[in-house]
């Protein structure tokens, strides 16, 4: 064999071997992955990153505060971010207390603190189309108020109880906000413990209310609900909440006035601020037992956006218990008309999720007891954030992993390639991928920089993460070897051709053409990526 080509084959073999040694950053980027930009904010970091599918940073925002939990990239390119500030009186996991808004260029344009000994923002916010922000918070009910509301005094070990609250903020200036709407769970309670106190009634007759004395296990701390997510549906004008400690999700009406939100009437759906729909734990409203539970400490329930597979249904990261596994669940709440949920006398339906992903090889290999998210992508794939290990992976419609990433940012440092994070040190609340045509990117410089990890190596990402040997029969290149033009023999519509050298550097491309000229390239081996309607094929070619 020609020595030059023998050297090239040895080099390819070495690069392929090295790709299997990746420990952080991108571990896999196969042809079936949805190409876009992924937003991540390591929980114990002051940084927020936007990365491409090879893990290269295309934008970065820096704060003086570590992340509270959630971050959002807005359509105009601004970054809405929760922050953690000190609060010795309210200190459970997820407490933030501060919101920041940065522009694309990392300029802080608005900040707002909601933190005191008796209240605090926590976990989540949600940006509305009108520029307002929904904010999740807790306020403190002292012992007297909690008991008057019907709480069993034996379940008040800390002498207080947290009321979950949603505020709609209208940003004012650079550090102020008007509260233009408010909802509180304490206005929608029921109890059957003490007839002399407020909210007394039959639990099973009032599924639209929350039993103030229902607990899973023996926990009696003030943080009895631990709501960890709020998401919004603009078409329905509804909000979905997730309570980790009760393993339920709730949908409420946002169309009410603040006054109506404190009652059981008013708004588009006529029920004021009462629960319109709940799911995950029938035992919580006396319509089942623990055996009927379908959710376990879940996170990030959200409506799948229009235009995607299963649009309008609700996707949930179902964390599971320490003895089980996590799953991604999709439910489709039954309705009589849009936003009006039907109620079966045996509880809210469906009985089980209509779609579920668990690890197909070993379910216990996929488990995160905290945080985490799932996201349906435009090509039908699903992006999953396994939060407690900072591990993101994308599955295709056949449940094959086509993209994998490990967050290299830990509690104390950024890891180098080859180092392995200890579980719990590189946690991430959510990971969200955006399409390349997302409006935030219009007119932006998206030139990729270095990956986050140190001593990085992404050569394998551009070259060998795709299957170069088992290419589709629909694609072929000719002539090969070639001294000039190379053409694609296929009936597919070709969107783009890219030529890469052995170091993964793109050196030539054509758009909307099936032929590309490489006459001016040096003799040797190259790789051609062929793009066709969200599908990518890769072939080796030899330039004579």
- Domain C-terminal end among 405, 421, 456: 456
Per-residue pLDDT at 394: 98
> Do residues 489 and 449 share a domain?
no
Residue 468 has pLDDT above 80, yes or no: no
pLDDT tens for each residue of 296-319: 999 999 999 999 999 999 999 999
Please indicate, yes or no, if residue 108 is contained in any of the structural domains: yes
Q: What tokens were used for 518?
A: 């490489």
Residue 17 has pLDDT above 50, yes or no: no
> Do residues 163 and 196 share a domain?
yes
Give the sign of the dihedral formed by CA 58, CA 62, CA 65, CA 71.
negative
- Which of 33-42, 75-84, 147-156, 356-365 is predicted with the least confidence, judged by mean pLDDT? 356-365
% of the chain with per-residue pLDDT over 70: 90
With cut-offs at 50, 70 and 90, classify the pLDDT of residue 350: very high
Q: 16: part of which helix (H) or strand (E)? A: helix 3-19
CB neighbours of residue 148 within 10 Å: 15
With cut-offs at 50, 70 and 90, classify the pLDDT of residue 322: low
Read out DSSP for 27-72? EEE-TTSPPEEEEEEETT-SEEEEE-TT-BEEEEEE-SS-EEEEEE
Residue 253 has pLDDT above 70, yes or no: yes
Per-residue pLDDT at 189: 98
> Do residues 342 and 264 share a domain?
yes
Domain that holds residue 488: 477-543
> Do residues 450 and 486 share a domain?
no
> Do residues 491 and 404 share a domain?
no
> Do residues 81 and 181 share a domain?
yes
Average pLDDT over residues 241-261: 98
Average pLDDT over residues 470-492: 78
Please indicate, yes or no, if residue 10 is contained in any of the structural domains: no
Residue 493 has pLDDT above 70, yes or no: yes
Alpha carbon distance 522, 300 (integer Å) = 51
Please indicate, yes or no, if residue 7 is contained in any of the structural domains: no
Higher pLDDT, 18 or 445: 445
Per-residue pLDDT at 498: 81
Per-residue pLDDT at 470: 37
* Residue 451 CB contacts under 8 Å (≥ 6 apart), including other chains: 25, 26, 51, 54, 55, 56, 57, 408, 458
> Do residues 192 and 258 share a domain?
yes
> Do residues 509 and 435 share a domain?
no
Per-residue pLDDT at 505: 59
Please indicate, yes or no, if residue 12 is contained in any of the structural domains: no
Alpha carbon distance 47, 81 (integer Å) = 10
pLDDT tens for each residue of 392-407: 999 999 999 999 999 9
Alpha carbon distance 463, 8 (integer Å) = 14
Residue 472 has pLDDT above 80, yes or no: no
Please count the helices (runs of H) and the strands (runs of E) in the chain.
4, 37
Please indicate, yes or no, if residue 6 is contained in any of the structural domains: no
Strands (E), 358-514: 373-376, 382-386, 391-395, 401-406, 428-435, 477-478, 485-488, 496-500, 506-511
Phi, psi at 485, each rounded to 5°: -75, 150
Is residue 461 exposed (0-12), middle (13-18) or buried (19+ Cβ within 10 Å)?
A: buried
Phi, psi at 356, each rounded to 5°: -150, 140
Per-residue pLDDT at 2: 40
> Do residues 429 and 482 share a domain?
no
Please indicate, yes or no, if residue 241 is contained in any of the structural domains: yes
- Domain C-terminal end among 422, 456, 490: 456
pTM of the model: 0.84
> Do residues 439 and 482 share a domain?
no
> Do residues 213 and 178 share a domain?
yes
pLDDT tens for each residue of 497-540: 888 776 555 677 676 678 888 888 888 878 888 877 667 777 78
Number of domains in the chain: 2
CATH number for the domain spanning 244: value is 2.120.10.30
- Residue 372 near residue 327 (C-beta atoms within 8 A): no
CATH number for the domain spanning 501: value is 2.60.40
Strands in 515-517's sheet, in edge-to-edge order, are: 477-478, 485-488, 515-517
> Do residues 295 and 386 share a domain?
yes
Residue 480 has pLDDT above 70, yes or no: yes
Q: What tokens were used for 238?
A: 């509804």
- Domain C-terminal end among 404, 427, 456: 456
Mean pLDDT, the chain, rounded, equals 90
Please indicate, yes or no, if residue 132 is contained in any of the structural domains: yes
Please indicate, yes or no, if residue 194 is contained in any of the structural domains: yes
pLDDT tens for each residue of 263-294: 999 999 999 999 999 999 999 999 999 999 99
- Residue 62 near residue 41 (C-beta atoms within 8 A): no
pLDDT tens for each residue of 416-440: 999 999 989 999 999 999 999 999 9
């Amino acid at each position: 064999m020609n020595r030059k080509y023998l050297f090239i084959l040895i080099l390819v073999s070495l690069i392929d071997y090295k790709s299997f040694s990746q420990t952080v950053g991108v571990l896999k980027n196969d042809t079936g992955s949805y190409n876009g930009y992924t937003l991540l904010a390591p929980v114990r970091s002051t940084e927020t990153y936007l990365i491409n599918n090879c893990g290269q940073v295309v934008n970065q925002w820096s704060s003086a505060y570590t992340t509270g939990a959630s971050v959002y990239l807005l359509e105009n390119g601004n970054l809405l971010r929760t922050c953690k500030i000190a609060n010795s009186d309210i200190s459970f996991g997820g407490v933030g207390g501060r919101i920041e808004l940065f522009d694309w260029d990392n300029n802080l344009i608005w900040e707002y603190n909601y933190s005191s000994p008796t209240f605090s923002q926590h976990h989540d916010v949600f940006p509305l189309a009108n520029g307002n922000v929904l904010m999740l918070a807790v306020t403190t009910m002292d012992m007297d108020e909690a008991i008057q509301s019907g709480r069993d005094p034996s379940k008040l070990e800390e002498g207080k109880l947290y009321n979950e609250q949603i505020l709609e903020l209208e940003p004012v200036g650079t550090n102020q906000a008007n509260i233009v709407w408010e909802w509180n769970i304490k206005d929608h309670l029921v109890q059957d413990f003490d007839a002399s106190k407020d909210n007394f009634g039959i639990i099973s007759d009032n599924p639209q209310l929350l039993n103030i004395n229902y607990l899973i296990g023996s926990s009696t701390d003030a943080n009895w609900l631990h709501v960890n997510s709020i998401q919004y549906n603009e078409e329905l004008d509804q909000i979905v909440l997730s309570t980790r400690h009760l393993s339920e999700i709730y949908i409420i009406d946002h169309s009410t006035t603040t006054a109506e939100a404190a009652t059981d009437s008013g708004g588009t759906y006529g029920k004021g601020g009462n629960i319109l729909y709940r799911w995950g734990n029938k035992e919580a409203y006396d319509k089942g037992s623990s055996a009927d539970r379908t959710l376990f400490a879940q996170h990030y329930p959200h409506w799948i956006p229009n235009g995607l597979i299963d649009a309008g249904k609700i996707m949930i990261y179902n964390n599971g218990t320490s003895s089980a596994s996590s799953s991604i669940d999709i439910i489709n709440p039954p309705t009589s008309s849009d936003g009006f949920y039907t109620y079966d006398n045996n509880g809210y339906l469906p009985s089980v999720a209509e779609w579920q992903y668990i690890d197909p090889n070993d379910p216990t290999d996929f488990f995160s007891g905290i945080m985490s998210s799932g996201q349906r992508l435009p090509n039908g794939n699903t992006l999953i954030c396994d939060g407690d290990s900072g591990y993101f992976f994308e599955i295709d419609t056949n449940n094959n992993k086509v993209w994998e990433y490990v967050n290299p940012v830990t509690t104390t440092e950024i890891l180098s390639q080859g180092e392995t994070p200890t579980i719990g040190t590189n946690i991430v609340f959510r990971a969200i991928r955006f399409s390349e045509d997302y409006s935030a990117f219009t007119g932006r410089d998206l030139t990729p920089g270095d990956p986050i990890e140190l001593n990085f190596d992404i050569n394998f990402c551009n070259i060998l993460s795709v299957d170069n040997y088992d290419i589709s029969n629909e694609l072929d290149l000719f002539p090969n070897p070639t001294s000039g033009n190379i053409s694609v023999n296929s009936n597919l519509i070709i969107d783009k051709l890219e030529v890469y050298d052995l170091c993964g550097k793109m050196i030539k491309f054509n758009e909307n053409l099936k032929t590309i000229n490489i006459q001016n390239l040096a003799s040797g081996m190259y790789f051609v990526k062929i793009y066709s309607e969200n599908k990518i094929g890769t072939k080796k070619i030899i330039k004579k």
